[in-house]
Amino acid sequence: MSRSIIETHRVFFTWIFALFLFALLLFGDSIWRANYPVITGLMFFAGSILVGLAVIGRLWCALHISGYKTYHLVATGPYSMSRNPLYFFSFLGVLGLGLASGSLLITAIMTAFFALYYAPLIREEQKRLLEMHGESYREYLSRTPAFWPKLSLLNEPEEYTVQPRVYRRSMGEAVWFIIFLGLFQFIGVLHQQAVLPNLFSLV
């Protein structure tokens, strides 16, 4: 089964959206930062926790799919609780970064982009996996939630073989959430010090 345009150019679309976000953050500042610093601090704290959970969760997912993705039906660890745990933890990271920006508008934009972008992507991947794995995937579909994890379904093996080189690449991908968290905070400081222009206000 051929890949869709979204699947093929996933990284490209993600970076285009990231550049759009950074343009908003560089030239506009949150109204909460100057007027309600305590609220901004709480938003950053909550966002940092979500980003931390996202990084840990993505590394957990990578531990189980490194070297097995697509060609093997992985149904252990986080994949025993959700069919798309990698996207679930990415969602936590996106939500966390939005809150860390100090802007509810940025949070809403990032969340909406995630939903509109990843919903069709998940459907396309499901079709391909169903075509590849047939009845075993149908059985997996019947017992495992599509997105939101069901903790009671957690099933972990005593031992699991991991391919270190593939896992190392996944570690690099997860680190981007931490990098963006730091950049968001640094941009906020630059606005506070009037180093960056404040051409418009972000709710």
| 61: nearest Cα among 183, 141, 167 | 167
Q: Which pLDDT tens digit goes with each residue over 130-151?
A: 999 999 999 999 999 999 999 9
What's the pLDDT at 2? 56
Instruction: Tell me if the pTM is above 0.95.
Output: no
Q: Which pLDDT tens digit goes with each residue over 88-116?
A: 999 999 999 999 999 999 999 999 999 99
Which domains are seen in the chain, by residue range? 21-197 (1.20.120)
Distance CA 8, CA 99 (A): 29
| 97: nearest Cα among 14, 172, 10 | 14
Distance CA 55, CA 58 (A): 5
What are the structure tokens assigned to 15, written together? 């970076």
Reduce the DSSP state of residue 77 to 3 states and report it. strand
Q: Which pLDDT tens digit goes with each residue over 39-86?
A: 999 999 999 999 999 999 999 999 999 877 767 899 999 999 999 999
What's the pLDDT at 7? 66
Q: How far apart are the two ends of the chain, measured CA to CA in Å? A: 43
Distance CA 110, CA 106 (A): 6
